[in-house]
Amino acid sequence: MARRVGRLLGALACAVAAGSCAPPDPPQEEGRVNVVATIGMIRDVVENVGGQHVRVVGLMGPGVDPHLYKASEGDVRRLFRADVIFYGGLHLEARMGEVLEEMGGRTAVAAVTTGIPVDQLLSPPEFEGAHDPHVWFDVRLWAYTVDVVAQTLAKRDPAHASDYFANAQRYQAQLRELDQYVRAQAALVPQEKRVLITAHDAFNYFGRAYGFQVRGLQGISTAAEAGTADVQELAEFIATRRIPAVFVESSIPRRTIEAVQEAVRARGFDVQIGGSLYSDAMGNPGTPAGTYQGMVRHNIDTIVRALLREP
């Protein structure tokens, strides 16, 4: 991997100097901070905090799985030209980790999760001491990232620091309202029905924050495939508990959860697919789920509606 990073950066330097390599990005605007964000949820925070003073490019769009994402030469060129790079950290961008570390010596690089108190991070046994990176599913935790973004932008662009901090306060107030909305919706589901089953184990922060038992077919990272034994074990759990719905995810192939559905039917119980949830990526730009707040509202509304159906 180190050699690959070196080759990418070396090729990038030549390409930037020669003006070749990949299709050009839109021209940078005078006086705006050029920002690259890895995932959509981070891009949304930067856009809300940075406002008119930033130009944000997101590397991973709708339906993209950050656990499996590999930086292209074009991506590294964008990173090289950025004034600031924001990424999740906690091994979320697993295959880009070394590229991002290398970029730290060339531009301002910030992992937004550094603002979250360590004692509030989950450390599943299968991660061998590492933390679960899916912190955006707990809105209160995700609000910590707003300060990291504001402070980083203010340091890079002190002339507009007051705007960044004012925007951050405004956005955090919106996130507090969003957290209250999720809690109110979750309370509509009786405690015994609060079981969330998805394609991969990304919703543990959601479960802890809002009172749901969470089960995933795959582990926290999608890099490992689920086996037949995993499917059968989860199917037995669903059939025994008579759970009315399971959920697919926008960034995970639908067939993973459909295999569970078929195995449940073989046990004489018909579990429904309750809808598609956004997990590691948001929706399309310009749609409600193309923002962090819209994504969270879509998820909780979909979950509550499906779990309140009679099995």
DSSP notation for 41-65: HHHHHHHHHHGGGEEEEESS-TT--
DSSP state of 168: H
**pLDDT tens-digit map of 180-232:** 999 999 999 999 999 999 877 789 999 999 999 998 876 434 444 556 887 88
Residues in the chain: 311
- Whether the domain at 2-180 and the domain at 184-307 fall into the same CATH topology: yes
Nearest-angstrom CA–CA distance, 269 and 238: 9
> Span 184-307: which CATH code?
3.40.50.1980
Say which residues have a Cβ less than 8 Å from residue 89's Cβ, sequence separation at least 6: 111, 112, 113, 114, 133
Q: Average the pLDDT over 261-290 and give the result.
A: 90
**What residue type is 235 in one-letter code?**
A
| 303 neighbors 281 (Cβ within 8 angstroms) | no
What values do phi and psi take at 8, rounded to 5? -65, -45
Share of the chain above pLDDT 70, in %: 78
Q: Nearest Cα to 128, choosing from 221, 225, 230, 65?
A: 221
**What residue type is 58 in one-letter code?**
G
| 257 neighbors 246 (Cβ within 8 angstroms) | yes
**pLDDT tens-digit map of 68-119:** 667 677 777 888 889 999 999 888 887 676 777 777 667 889 999 999 999 9
- Per-residue model confidence (pLDDT) at position 289: 93
Handedness of CA 168, 169, 174, 179 (dihedral sign): positive
**What residue type is 153 in one-letter code?**
L
Nearest-angstrom CA–CA distance, 248 and 250: 7
CB-CB neighbours of 107 under 10 Å: 16
CA 160, chain centre distance (Å) = 28
Q: Nearest Cα to 220, choosing from 182, 249, 240, 260?
A: 249
| 101 neighbors 80 (Cβ within 8 angstroms) | no
Q: Nearest Cα to 60, choosing from 68, 50, 48, 51?
A: 68
| Residue 77 token pair | 């060129």
Nearest-angstrom CA–CA distance, 263 and 276: 20
Instruction: Please measure the distance between the N-terminal and C-terminal CA atoms of the chain and give it in whole angstroms.
Output: 49
**pLDDT tens-digit map of 110-165:** 999 999 999 999 987 766 678 999 999 999 999 999 999 999 999 999 999 999 99
- Per-residue model confidence (pLDDT) at position 127: 65
Provide the residue ranges of all domains of the chain, joining segments of one domain with +: 2-180, 184-307
Higher pLDDT, 14 or 276: 276
- Per-residue model confidence (pLDDT) at position 219: 47
Higher pLDDT, 261 or 304: 304
pTM of the complete model: 0.83
Dihedral of CA atoms 90, 5, 64, 42 in degrees, nearest 10, equals 50
Residue 151, exposed/middle/buried by CB under 10 A (0-12, 13-18, 19+)? Answer: middle
- The set of long-range contacts for 2-9, using a CB threshold of 8 Å and a minimum separation of 24, is 2/98, 5/98, 5/99, 5/102, 8/71, 8/73, 8/76, 8/99, 9/76, 9/80, 9/102
Nearest-angstrom CA–CA distance, 206 and 93: 20
| Annotation: CATH topology of 2-180 | Rossmann fold (3.40.50)
